[in-house]
Structure 1
Amino acid sequence: MILTIHRHVISRIPRYSVTYDNSNTWLLHVSQAQQDDRGYYMCQVNTNPMISQVGYLQVVVPPNILDIESTPSSVAVRENQNINMTCRADGFPTPKIIWRREDGQSITVERKKKVMVYDGEVLHLTKVSRNEMGAYLCIATNGVPPSVSKRIILDVEFSPMIWVPNQLVGAPLSTDVTIDCHTEAHPRAIIYWVYNSVMVLPSKKYIIDYNENSYRAHMKLTIKGLSMGDFGNYRCISKNSLGETEGSIRVYEIPLPSTPSKQITHVMEPKETSPAMVSRNETIKVASQPEVLFPMKNDEGYAQRSPNGIPFERKGSLAIGQSFSYTDMPPKEFGVSNDARSSFGVFSLLSLTTSVVPSTLLVLCHQRCESWLFL
């Protein structure tokens, strides 16, 4: 087909034009080049003999994904079934198709091979698991910018599953307690708590927390100010269009833990021969004048206490109202003796004060009380 003669355009295609300069150079211009313009062009000079020059016009086309021939932007499959996802594109040169996951995770092919990038128009997934759920990117490239991509969401559907970390939870009366359960489901499940066949609703009594991440969810129930009517079985129920499941948690009462005390107090009638022990600057009150004993030191250090007693040296008698301290060797073992009876204990600091209280005898203990003679 003849396009131009001299300065005249013969073709009826307006995208062609010709120019000439004083250097006897003729130029053929093709505007808005299209794929149909690809091919050989010849410039001919009608001399005798005729001379000509031939050139080839290559028209490149960036890739374009053909949506009508590709998998839709969202596709669903039941867990453990197979699925093929297709991505087709045109362009020149012929585009190359690769697949990758948007979250950067690997793609499992042939159920045993994991790859970060998969080549080919069709991505075949076998026995799909919930871990393969997510966005997949189909990317088409052919060296002509720009590259193009398509995002396909793969939904893996399965019935709910529940995991309860603690099926037995104990708490004292009048305290707060928190129970929780974990669930996995897709499509998204409805999760709620049931107690005594009644759905638990958020209130000042019940605090419900819900955290969701993809197909996983974590639900917590906090029960404020436990009363006797709050103990029993609580059910965590998860339900979606594919099924329903539940987990059970039993909340039971435990005794309120007692606060550890540094002393045990007994009030008794005064006895002249009653021994007593004290620690941490506590006051010992007796009705007679006691003697204070300390362990004797040997070559290996201080002797250890035994049920039959060990050698003690006397540190003298305490006058009524007198204080006595011995703080150079922690821990310390000491005894207080009235008449011929004595008892011993281990303390980190000793400071004894005696005074006369004719009506009562106050005994304060700190450690190993069960071995004391008085108790």
Structure 2
Amino acid sequence: AADPYLDILPNGETQTKPIGSSIILTCKPKVDDPSLISDMQWLDPRNLVIEPLNPRGITKPPMYTELHQDGRLSLYFNSLQEQQAGTYTCKGIYARNVQLSKSVTIDTIIAITWENAPPNQYPILGEDFDVHCQVRARPSPSVDWLFNGKLIKTDDHYIINTYSLKIKNVQERDDGIYTCRASVQTTGELQERPIRVEVHIRPTITEFTKPTDVIEGENANIQCHGDGKPSPVITWVKSLTQQNLSMTDRFGVDPVSGILTITNVNREDAGEYQCMATNAAGTVTATTQINVIIKPKIMEFINKTVVEGKSVDIQCKAFGRPPPKVSFRKLTLDKPYADGAQSDDDRIIVRNKPDDTSSDVTVGILSITNVLTDNDGLYECVAENIGAVAYKNGHLTVEFPPSFRNMPNITYWSFESRPVNLTCIAESIPNATIRWTLHEQKIDTDPYLQQIGNGPISILQIRPIDRRYYTHYKCIAMNPHGTREHLIELREATRPSELLSVKMIEITATTIRFDLIPPPHPDLPVVTITVQYKEELHTWQNAKNKTWSVGSVYVIEGLKPQTAYDFRFAGRNEVGLGNFGNFHREITPGRTVPKDPRILSTPGFEYENSQYSHQYELSWVTPPDNGEPIDKYLIKYCEIRRVVGDWEILDDTCQSIEIKSPGRTRQYLKDLKYDTYYIVELQAHNVMGFGKPGYVKFRTARGSGITVDYSNAGDTCKTDVAITAAVMLLSLAI
């Protein structure tokens, strides 16, 4: 029989197993009679008995033994750990006295494990950086590096360390994927760890609002733009309180653009502010000063009163930050007064000074010496700083003694004991009291004199019952600053005398026109002139009358042809009609053709310019008919051209129009050529024949121009009546 012994499965004195694996070692007796085996045990590397599994245990131990019915004893490892490596011994007794023993060595293998190899790592531009890749394995691994698939070797830029790859003076080109490659030659294990390296750039502040002014009550935006990689987040704090302004009432911060918004700025917002740009590479800070501009406010602008000839200082106090500049303007002037003495009036001086009680208050002073009444009136105080402009009005009252300077120096007239009112107006501040005297005597006792009003306007009502009342009256005005007197004359008016001149300037068979010069009016002006006229053999009792307003056209119509007429004239004023005089005799000529019509044109121009390109509006004044009514007009128009400084008529272009409406004074000439010169000849006709023609030249407009088609271009076109009438009056006046 063979000697008894123990056999351990799996075979081999050394069992190499990976960490974390579950394994079983079976100790099997090799004996003739397995029932004679006893005291089977497994001993750990410290020679301690490994206990069998407790069926009542809650959890399994890291290792335990299990005895099988056939006498085998198994050793179980739930998850092999590195510290469980070593020599394990299986023991047993055979037939009570034969000691059996067998050992096996467990050698643990550690698979490649990445212990400190983050997949994303962030170096900072310009600095040295270790790309970490710490590997653990048993047997010890070998580590090498690749960048974008190329093997890295130690040089001036890279240093390969045990647990890292050092990149010296990191640049943006170092961005990319690095591969940490670990291998164990004895086991043939190979692992690769891709690591993304993103170069970060420390933040910088590139756009930043320097110390700035913001206006109280308005909104303000403060710039702070940061660059970096990754893009920095912008925060703002007020230096004094270190309060995060993104969470502060009235403040807003855009973390991307960096704009700090202040809503409804108030004066407490002034101070130093910090802008911080932060990214993964660091934080950078910049500070700025915010100055709050307080809009000017005029605190005091008091009305002033001064006596003419004295001096006055008008003060205007204004508050603001920075202190406002104060200027003054009289509201009747376009521009404010300049600082200092005025170039056109050195009596007026403007100056500013700081207030004694506050550095934010300016006192503006408008000084006027030897004050004139013209200085009276409304003044505007203007306070201005970089924030706004404020305005306030004040009044300067200049008191002065009574004055009659704006009172018209006129003579009053009366006649036939008619009552008359003499008006006296005294200007003064304060208002003057007025009294009247006649020959240095009070008027209170005279029943024909009555004073109405005691100032500043007073009326003396006079009923001149005899010549004593036609004299000078004295108006006396008085106030606290003086007394002034003014004489007003009342004279007796008479009827006009004879006209200065009577001339006949035009006569036809039925009309006569005079040039009349009324008499001078030392009393009252002549307002109308009346003529009496009769046939030579008739008496004045049967004469006809005609009255004209002075300055009108003095024309008598409806006369008989070839008849001698006598004329006499008288002027009328407010008193009445003067005596007739200026006797004049004329004989009307016989009936004949009408006078030449006066065509309405622009005085001083060689030709008229039509506003139309293919038509022209011809207007005229009805001429005297010379005893027989006008029954028609003949219009002839021809093209003309300028030849050596004169005009040549193109006879083959002439056309004629006969108008049988004698009341018409307007006609449109149609179908004309554009930009062409024409001459028009207009004749009036009665039973005696055609009179002399009137002439006008015109030029049509260039291009297509405006065309207005009047199917009835007579006096019925209401839109042109007013224009034609105005032109007629202009020509007549000329």
How far off is 1:165 after superposition? 5.5
Partner of 2:374, secondary structure, is: helix
Partner of 2:538, secondary structure, is: coil
How far off is 1:29 after superposition? 7.5
1:113 correspondence with 2:344 = yes
Mapped partners of 2:445, 2:392: distance in 1: 44
1:40 maps to which of 251, 272, 296:
272
Asked if structure 2 preserves the Cα contact closer than 8 Å seen for 1:162 and 1:182, the reply is yes
How far off is 1:204 after superposition? 11
Mapped partners of 1:39, 1:59: distance in 2: 9
How far off is 1:283 after superposition? 7.0
What residue number does 2:442 align with? 197
Asked if structure 1 preserves the Cα contact closer than 8 Å seen for 2:250 and 2:264, the reply is no
Asked if structure 2 preserves the Cα contact closer than 8 Å seen for 1:99 and 1:119, the reply is no
Q: Compare 132-141 and 169-178 and name the one that shifted more.
A: 169-178
1:159 correspondence with 2:401 = yes
What residue number does 2:392 align with? 150
How far off is 1:131 after superposition? 1.1
What residue number does 1:244 align with? 483
Read off the aligned partner of 1:348 and give its amino acid letter.
Answer: R
1:186 correspondence with 2:415 = no
2:313 maps to which of 44, 60, 84:
84
Partner of 2:333, secondary structure, is: coil
Q: How does 1:3-82 map to 2 (within 5 A)?
A: 3-4=241-242, 33-43=265-275, 51-67=284-300, 71-72=301-302, 74-82=303-311
How far off is 1:157 after superposition? 1.5
| Cα distance change, pair 49–206 in 1 and its aligned pair in 2 (3 A) | same
Partner of 1:36, secondary structure, is: helix
| Cα distance change, pair 34–194 in 1 and its aligned pair in 2 (3 A) | same
How far off is 1:248 after superposition? 3.4
Asked if structure 1 preserves the Cα contact closer than 8 Å seen for 2:298 and 2:392, the reply is yes
Read off the aligned partner of 2:313 and give its amino acid letter.
Answer: N
What residue number does 2:599 align with? none
Asked if structure 2 preserves the Cα contact closer than 8 Å seen for 1:165 and 1:180, the reply is no
Partner of 1:58, secondary structure, is: strand
Read off the aligned partner of 1:237 and give its amino acid letter.
Answer: I
Where does structure 2 lack aligned partners over 5 or more consecutive residues? Answer: 1-238, 353-363, 499-534, 542-560, 569-581, 588-734
Mapped partners of 1:144, 1:98: distance in 2: 16
Asked if structure 2 preserves the Cα contact closer than 8 Å seen for 1:200 and 1:206, the reply is no
Read off the aligned partner of 1:158 and give its amino acid letter.
Answer: F
How far off is 1:130 after superposition? 0.7
Could you say which structure has the greater relative contact order, defined with CA pairs below 8 angstroms and 6 or more residues apart?
1
Read off the aligned partner of 1:113 and give its amino acid letter.
Answer: D
| Cα distance change, pair 137–326 in 1 and its aligned pair in 2 (3 A) | same
State how many pairs are aligned.
262
Mapped partners of 2:274, 2:540: distance in 1: 121
Where does structure 1 lack aligned partners over 5 or more consecutive residues? Answer: 10-14, 261-277, 285-324, 333-344, 351-375
| Cα distance change, pair 105–199 in 1 and its aligned pair in 2 (3 A) | farther
| Cα distance change, pair 18–182 in 1 and its aligned pair in 2 (3 A) | closer
Mapped partners of 1:41, 1:255: distance in 2: 91
Asked if structure 2 preserves the Cα contact closer than 8 Å seen for 1:136 and 1:151, the reply is yes
Q: How does 1:345-364 map to 2 (within 5 A)?
A: 347-348=584-585
Read off the aligned partner of 2:344 and give its amino acid letter.
Answer: K
Mapped partners of 1:3, 1:46: distance in 2: 24
Mapped partners of 1:111, 1:2: distance in 2: 49
Partner of 2:431, secondary structure, is: coil
| Cα distance change, pair 222–110 in 1 and its aligned pair in 2 (3 A) | farther
What residue number does 1:177 align with? 420
Mapped partners of 2:259, 2:497: distance in 1: 101
Asked if structure 1 preserves the Cα contact closer than 8 Å seen for 2:448 and 2:464, the reply is no
Read off the aligned partner of 2:331 and give its amino acid letter.
Answer: E
Asked if structure 2 preserves the Cα contact closer than 8 Å seen for 1:18 and 1:27, the reply is no
Deviations 1:164-193 (A, max 9, x none): 765875643323434343433112223344
Partner of 1:191, secondary structure, is: strand
1:226 maps to which of 442, 459, 464:
464
Mapped partners of 1:200, 1:31: distance in 2: 80
Answer with 1 or 2: which has the greater Rg.
Answer: 2
Asked if structure 1 preserves the Cα contact closer than 8 Å seen for 2:402 and 2:432, the reply is yes
Mapped partners of 1:112, 1:95: distance in 2: 24
Mapped partners of 1:245, 1:138: distance in 2: 36
Mapped partners of 2:244, 2:342: distance in 1: 67
1:95 maps to which of 306, 320, 324:
324
Mapped partners of 2:470, 2:567: distance in 1: 46
Asked if structure 1 preserves the Cα contact closer than 8 Å seen for 2:379 and 2:393, the reply is yes
1:235 correspondence with 2:470 = no
| Cα distance change, pair 132–181 in 1 and its aligned pair in 2 (3 A) | same
Identity within the alignment, %? 21
| Cα distance change, pair 126–2 in 1 and its aligned pair in 2 (3 A) | closer
| Cα distance change, pair 177–52 in 1 and its aligned pair in 2 (3 A) | same
Q: Compare 238-247 and 228-237 and name the one that shifted more.
A: 228-237
How far off is 1:247 after superposition? 2.4
Mapped partners of 1:249, 1:122: distance in 2: 45
Mapped partners of 2:342, 2:385: distance in 1: 30
Read off the aligned partner of 1:281 and give its amino acid letter.
Answer: H
Mapped partners of 2:490, 2:245: distance in 1: 98
How far off is 1:136 after superposition? 0.8
2:374 maps to which of 128, 131, 152:
131
Read off the aligned partner of 1:197 and give its amino acid letter.
Answer: K
Mapped partners of 1:24, 1:55: distance in 2: 19
Asked if structure 1 preserves the Cα contact closer than 8 Å seen for 2:536 and 2:565, the reply is no
What residue number does 1:342 align with? none
Q: RMSD value over aligned CA atoms?
A: 5.2
Mapped partners of 1:29, 1:326: distance in 2: 102
Asked if structure 1 preserves the Cα contact closer than 8 Å seen for 2:451 and 2:458, the reply is no
